[in-house]
Structure 1
Amino acid sequence: MSERTDDGVQQTGRGYRKGPVLLRGTEIPDTTTDQRLLATGEGTDWVHSDPWRVMRIQAEFVEGFGALAEVGPAVSVFGSARTRNDHPDYGLAVEVGGLLVDAGYAVITGGGPGIMEAANKGAAEAGGTSIGLGIELPFEQGMNEYVNRGVSFRYFFARKTMFVKYAQGFIVLPGGFGTFDELFEAITLVQTHKVTGFPLVLVGTEYWSGLLEWVRTAVVDRGMVSPTDLDLLHLTDSAADAVSYVVERGRALAAEFRT
C-alpha cells in the first residue's frame, strides 16, 4: 500500500501522513485537508474542533504577551471577587495597590470585582498601570472600571501564565477556590524551581493562619512537604509590610540569581 501525505503527495510506505500524525487503516480520511478547506457547502463544526482551539490558544498567548511585554516590574494581587467595598479587606487591597505603584510596580489582578477591583483602584488612583486579566465565566462580571490595561481570556491556563510571567511577586488577600488555586500554583512553581523565585505574601493573619497550621502539622508531619517550604510564604496584616517584603525579598532573590 502506498503512503500519501495530507497534501496528496504519494510516498513509499504504509499509511497517511497528516503533518506529524500517522494514520492507518480506517483512520485514513477520504479527502485531504486542502480539499476540505476549499469545499463549498461545508458546515461550521470545524470552528469548534481541537486543532482550531489550538489556534485560539496560540492567539491568546500572542495577545497576552503583546499587551504585557513592556509593562515593566509588576506584582500580581489575588483575592475574592465577593468582597464588598465596605469590607476592611477591600480597603486593605486599595492600599496595597497604591503602595505597589509608589514602589515602582504595575498591579496585575484578575480584573473582576471585590479584591481585584480594590487593588486596581489603588493602582489607578496612584497614577500607575492597573492591569486586569479577565476570564470568560458564566457567573463573573466583566472588567472592573479601574483597569487601564485589560486582556480577556477564554482559557485559564493562558491567563495563569500571564500572572506568573510578568510578575515579580504575588500578594494574596483572603479569597476562595480561585485564590487558593493561584496561591498553590505559585508556591508549587517556586518550590519546584520552575521559576527562579519571587516573593509570596499572604495578607490576613486570622484568615490564613488555620491553613498554614494545617500545612505545618498534618502535611509536614506526613512528609508531604518540607518544613522549610513554609519559609516561601510571608504572613502579615499590613499593606505596607506586604509591599516592603515584596521589594526587599525581590532584591535579595535578584542578587542570588545574579551570583
Structure 2
Amino acid sequence: MTSDGTSASKPKYRGPIMLRRNRKIESSTTDQRLLDQRGSADWLHTDPWRVLRIQSEFVEGFGALAEVPRAVTVFGSARTPEDHPEYEAARQLSAALAAAGYAVITGGGPGVMEAANRGASEAGGFSIGLGIELPFEQGLNEWVDLGINFRYFFARKTMFVKYSQAFVCMPGGFGTLDEMFEALTLVQTRKITRFPIVLFGSEYWGGLVEWIRTSVVNGGKVSPADVELITVTDSVQEVIDVIERSRQEPEIDDGVTGHEDKW
C-alpha cells in the first residue's frame, strides 16, 4: 500500500516511459509493432512520429545550408504581380545584395519572393528558396538555385534566422509581419545577437512604425530603444550600407554569440 491508501502496482515500461495503476499499455512490444507488416498506418500520423519528421527537417536544412556564404533574407508578399513597382524594387535590391557578396534567401514562392530570387540569380548571385507546405500549393519559383521545402513553419523560421546576416522586409502580409516581429522579439530579448531588420518602403511601413512609436512605446509596452531595432528606408544603397555597417560594428559581450552563429 502507498501512503495515500491506494495499491501500489508493479510498473511496466514502454522504452523510457514508466506506467503504473492500469494506465493504457500496448499489448505488443515495440519490436513487434516495427516488424509486423500488417495493421493500420495510423502510427505514421502520431505525435511521436512527427518528432522524427521535425528532426529530419532540421537535419536536412542544416546540412543543405551549412556551407552557404553570408546571406540576407528578403521577405515580401506572394501576391505582388510582376508588373508592380514592388516587384522591380525587390529585383533590384537582390541584385545589389548579390553584387555586395551576399546570397539571397526567400520563402521561395511567387511575387516579391520570386523577384528577389530572380534579381540575385540574374546578377550571378546565390539564390535560395525555403518553401513551405501549404493547402494552396505554390512550389518553388524557377529562379531558386538551392531549394528546400518544409512541412513546419518553426523549422523553416529557424533556417531564416540562423543563416541570415539581416532581414529585409518588402511590403507583405501576415507572413511577412510574422517573420518581422519574431526577429524583433528574438533580438529585443537577446535570444540572438542583434542583426539588421530593414523595412523597405516607407509609405507602406510608415503607419505601422508610427503606431509602435505612439501606442506601443507611449503605453509602456516596449522601450524607445526597441524601435531603433528597425530601419525604414526606400533606398537600395541604404539597405546595403546598414548591413555592411552591422558587420563592422564590434560585438557587445552580452553572453550571446556572433552573427556567424547567432544561436
TM-score (ref. length: structure 1): 0.91
Which of 28, 31, 38 is equivalent to 2:28?
Answer: 31
Distance in 2 between residues matched to 1:106 and 1:220, nearest whole Å: 35
Does residue 238 (structure 1) correspond to residue 235 (structure 2)? The answer is yes
Map 1:97-246; keep pairs closer than 5 Å: 97-246=94-243
Shift of 1:167: 0.4
Distance in 1 between residues matched to 2:137 and 2:210, nearest whole Å: 32
Shift of 1:80: 0.4
Distance in 2 between residues matched to 1:145 and 1:166, nearest whole Å: 22
Contact kept in structure 2, 1:77 and 1:109, CA below 8 Å: yes
Percent identity reads 61
Distance in 2 between residues matched to 1:20 and 1:231, nearest whole Å: 48
1:115-170 deviation per Cα after TM superposition (whole angstroms, max 9, x unaligned): 10011011001111100000010124110011000000111111110000000110
Shift of 1:184: 0.3
State the SS of the aligned residue for 2:120. Answer: helix
Distance in 2 between residues matched to 1:60 and 1:153, nearest whole Å: 7
Between Structure 1 and Structure 2, the one with more helix by share is 1
Alpha-carbon RMSD: 1.7
Aligned to 2:12: 16
Contact kept in structure 2, 1:199 and 1:250, CA below 8 Å: no
Aligned residues: 247
Distance in 1 between residues matched to 2:215 and 2:233, nearest whole Å: 23
Q: Which runs of 5+ in 2 are unaligned?
A: 2-8, 259-263
Shift of 1:255: 7.6
Distance in 2 between residues matched to 1:129 and 1:28, nearest whole Å: 52
Does residue 65 (structure 1) correspond to residue 67 (structure 2)? The answer is no
1:26-48 deviation per Cα after TM superposition (whole angstroms, max 9, x unaligned): 32222221122222421111111
Paired AA for residue 49 in structure 2: W
1:49-77 deviation per Cα after TM superposition (whole angstroms, max 9, x unaligned): 11111111111111111110000200111
Distance in 1 between residues matched to 2:203 and 2:17, nearest whole Å: 54
Distance in 2 between residues matched to 1:106 and 1:253, nearest whole Å: 23
Shift of 1:21: 2.2
